[in-house]
Amino acid sequence: MALVECVPNFSEGRNRNVIKAITDEIESVEGATLLDVDPGKATNRTVVTFAGTPEAVVKAAFQAIKKAKELIDMSGHMGEHPRMGATDVCPLVPISGITIEECVELAHKLAKRVGEELKIPVYFYEYAATSPQRKSLADIRKGEYEGLKDKLKDPNWVPDYGPASFDKKAGATVIGVREFLIAYNVNLNTRDRKLAQKIALNIRESGRAKRDEEGRILRDENGTIIKTKGNFKCVRAVGWYIDEYNMAQVSINLTNYKVTPLYRVFDECCKEAAKLGLRVTGSEVVGLIPKDALLETGRHYLLKQGKTAGVPEKELIRVAVQTLGLSEIKPFIPDEKIIEYRVEKQRSLLQMTARDFIDEVSMDSPAPGGGSVSALSGALGGALLSMVCSLTVGKKGYENVWKAVKEMGENVQKLKDELIRLVDDDTEAFNGIITAIKLPKKTEEDKKKRDEAVEEATKRAILVPLRVMREGKKILELLKEAASICNVNVISDIAVGALEAETAVRGAGFNVDINIPNVRDEKFKKDVVNEREEIEKEAVKMRKEIEGVARGRMMR
């Protein structure tokens, strides 16, 4: 599922009724989950965090900006934080299943509505910036609200969307796209802030000031301090002492964890601490963290141990939390701290026990049905292969295939997780058809909209099982590769995994077949039928080949 975070800053931090009216707009949008509301009296500003599907986030952001325009009057606003509008800044942040470029498109979609429908001047910043001088939020906001009237008259500062006219009540809004910022603190076994600061100066991108032999700061001919760069890009850090914890910490902002991963910063802090006679005792995440940041951390430490990283997501997160010591100060609860888990559906099929799921299938409702069961079969086939990989890596006599099997284990975990998601997606797709069929059809316009909705919903109900077929085929390809090199003692599990994967492919194929006659788009039909037939043909062939290899190795 594509997931986007939005962190709008509203120029009101004192009137709780106004703040609640704005956040109520966000919560009213299906598919958007309110994560945090942080008002500040001194700044007279509230930072709101919510996340959801791309469409839901754009809708919720627009409604919140609209409500802020209605309720906030910038002409009387006072606060310590720089600002230029009722909704001062509204960044979109890609979390999973979506790219920066796709988020920029969403930013344009949102800004267009804000500019045209609400008549608010809108500027783009960061990845959405339309020119280099507009990339920095600080540069756009220079002069703040008080200087906005004159700024809008400047040809260099014509808004990206909306009128170049001053709205004294709403001001202007800055919309952009940025990476997720992880607020992360590393704990030290000292109360000395200066020692923590030494570590911070070494790891942060901006580094430290150069000094001469007598300790004086060196400057260039313009009087600018000359600096030695730190160890990592996209890292800000400072050392401080927290009285509540009775310890010093290296307080870190990772502005792009994809450039500098969490584990690299933690490992470097451990090295730097040891040079000073200190020890890192643990760490903490402030606020929320994307799941991927912990998954890659778990993989890193498992591989360092010589193990396969092809283990379930839950285990990768456990390894990351334990290694980083994220529960030293207070328990790290993944369901509360990982952003994807916070926005998961409250009652998905995947949260059921195996018995509950089987019972749900056995009821008189047509969904979940064969499509969801097929996806689950594929996931079970992938799970068996992952188990086989884990039981091959580290096993004496298989040293020459460890590397290949480790990689295989990681790949099949991703396929398994995708099929698990498709268990829910198939049921949702069926429910989408029912919803479309129930649309009104009183007028010709109603009938046209209903027919279009039914067509799109039916296509989705075909594309989901087609995805199950594709993923099932990929698992069979990996099973075929594993059959001849894996630990012979678990070769029967390879055979069972192949049967499960073939069931996923052929079972999902029936779901494609039952829906395809209801589609009017002939090109879509032809393309789907051709792909569906080719995948099933290859799947049946591979399952037979895998079974043959498995039986052959059993006989040795």
Q: Which of 362, 366, 346 is nearest to 354 (CA)?
A: 362
Catalytic residue selected from 81, 417, 451, 513: 81
Are 89 and 176 contacting, i.e. CB atoms less than 8 angstroms apart? yes
Please tell me the distance from the alpha carbon of residue 500 to that of residue 350, in angstroms, as a whole number.
Answer: 18
The residues near 145 (Cβ < 8 Å, ≥ 6 apart) are: 74, 77, 83, 84, 85, 171
Residue 426 bears catalytic tag = yes
Please tell me the distance from the alpha carbon of residue 537 to that of residue 473, in angstroms, as a whole number.
Answer: 10
Are 199 and 274 contacting, i.e. CB atoms less than 8 angstroms apart? no
Beta bridge partners of 91: 176
Q: Which of 239, 232, 256 is nearest to 93 (CA)?
A: 256
What phi and psi, each to the nearest 5 degrees, are found at residue 131?
A: -155, 155
**Dihedral sign (CA 397, 399, 400, 403):** positive
Residue 81 bears catalytic tag = yes
Q: Report CA-CA distances (Å) from 422 to 103, 177, 348.
A: 24, 29, 11
Catalytic residue selected from 160, 167, 424, 426: 426
Question: Which residues belong to the active site?
Answer: 81, 426
